[in-house]
Structure 1
Amino acid sequence: MKVRHSVMALVVAGLAVGCAAAAPAQTQTQTQEQPPVTPRAAESNPPGDIPDDTLFVAYRHPGQPYEVKVPEGWARTDLPTGAGFTDKLNSIRIETAPAASPPTEASVRNQVKDGQISTVGTVTRKGGRAIRVVYRADSSPDPVTGKVVRDEIERYVFYRTGREAILTLSGPVGADNVDPWRTVSDSFRWTTS
């Protein structure tokens, strides 16, 4: 019986040694406790901010010699020589008019009847040279609530052979629409029709 226990002890000992040899070596690592992950607070944009992921589509008025890109999905109001586009508190308006001579900074300044002008100057856009005026004015009253918002307005006046194209961009004061308004004003171009 002593032999049987000895053999059995040898077998168990051999298995223990074999298992220890087959098992991968474990290394001790120290882990530092990570601070708990807190969700990022929702982005809070001022009223009138146009989202960065807005898509722009080309608009051409039938019979008018221009094209401009406007945000996709905005409501359109047709005008005799252009169109108005609105979404929430922002708007874009493009129209043409006959002009005996190219616009000047003074003539464009005089087009602003009710507003506080901050900038008037000549700028170059992809569609050509334009006079740009930036000013603040009250919006039209909301048809439902009657609420009036103070808007910042950028107006561009482009000229070609006896015709002006007037591009007006407006949104609430404090809205960060620099990039969308640059996209729209840079997209204006005269066409052949």
Structure 2
Amino acid sequence: MNVRQSVIALAMAGLAAGCAAGTAAQTQTQDRSQAQSPAPASSDPPAPQAAESNPAGDIPDDTVFVAYRHQGLPYEVQVPEGWARTDLPTGAGFTDKLNSIRVETAPAASPPTETSVRSQVHSGEIRTVDTVSRKGGTAVRVVYRADSTPDPVTGKVVKDEIERYAFYRGGRQAILTLSGPVGADNVDPWRTVSDSFRWTAP
């Protein structure tokens, strides 16, 4: 190889190296551009969060209770504020949506027993019969399940869980009945109401 051929060979080698370097630099630039580009946004909408719901008939935790005293009958009981009241000859009833409270009094020759209270449940599935202590005195309690009264508009009937307390003093019996749909968590409100019952001066 003469001098001229050597020069030409060196020039061509340098040109090839320059092209390779340029191609590598372009590839690196494209790689960096792809790495820095944000991922395309998903077209799928975010999944909606499940709405919170309470079982039908749950009495709210922030319910305010007020004292009720029947005119002419010797008892007092606390009931949720704002519930609709129905005056009865022997007491009173209170309702709100699917829940109800009823208090009735009547003369009684002797204190109630678990047997006598059980016999007063003419229909329904009895769950518990026991004697309990409340702030207003001892009571016989029966817990049972039965169909509700049909809704006057829709005719719908639901299965209620009912707590009935029989209090007694001096020849008079008071029946406190608490009812709401099966599955409603009303343990605390019902305890507040049953604990609040007390006899007043005759």
* TM-score grouping bracket, smaller chain normalisation: 0.7 to 0.9
Q: Deviations over 1:80-100 (max 9, x none)?
A: 121000000000000001100
Alignment correspondent of 1:35:
none
1:172 correspondence with 2:188: no
The answer to whether structure 1 residue 126 and structure 2 residue 132 are counterparts is no
Structural mapping, 1:65-84, within 5 Å: 65-84=74-93
TM-superposed deviation, 1:59? 0.5
> Residues 1-193 of structure 1: matches in 2 within 5 Å?
42-193=51-202
- Residue 166 of structure 1 and its aligned partner are, at CA, apart by 0.2
Within 2, Cα distance between the matches of 1:64 and 1:141?
A: 30
- 1:91 is paired with a residue whose SS is strand
CA contact (8 A) 1:61 1:81 kept: no
Task: Quote how far apart the aligned CAs of 1:41 are.
Answer: 5.3
Per-residue CA distance 1:92-113 (angstroms, 9 max, x = gap): 0000011000000000000000
- Report the AA paired with residue 140 of structure 1: T
Q: Is the 8 A contact 1:67 1:190 kept in 2?
A: yes
* Distance in 2 between residues matched to 1:135 and 1:40, nearest whole Å: 37
> Cα deviations across residues 143-191 of structure 1 (Å, max 9, x unaligned)?
0000001000000000000000000000000000000000000000000
Structure 2 alignment gaps of length 5 or more:
1-47
**Taking every aligned residue pair, what percent have the same amino acid on both sides?**
85
For 1:128, the aligned partner's letter is G
Structure 2 distance, partners of 1:81, 1:138, is 24
Residues 47-90 of structure 1: CA distance to partner in whole angstroms, max 9, x if unpaired?
Answer: 00000000000001101010000000000000012100000000
In structure 2, how many angstroms separate the alpha carbons of the residues matched to 1:192 and 1:43? 46
TM-score, structure 2 normalization = 0.75
Structure 1 residues not aligned, in runs of 5+: 1-38
Q: For 1:68 and 1:81, locate their aligned partners in 2 and report how far apart those are by CA, in whole Å.
A: 14
TM-score, scaled relative to structure 1: 0.79
Cα-Cα RMSD: 1.4
1:43 offset after TM fit, Å?
2.8
CA distance in 1, matches of 2:50, 2:151: 31
What secondary structure, in the 3-state scheme, does the structure 2 residue paired with 1:181 have? helix
Structure 1 distance, partners of 2:90, 2:82, is 21
Q: Which amino acid aligns with 2:120?
A: Q
Q: Rg larger in 1 or in 2?
A: 2
Q: CA deviation at 1:44?
A: 1.1
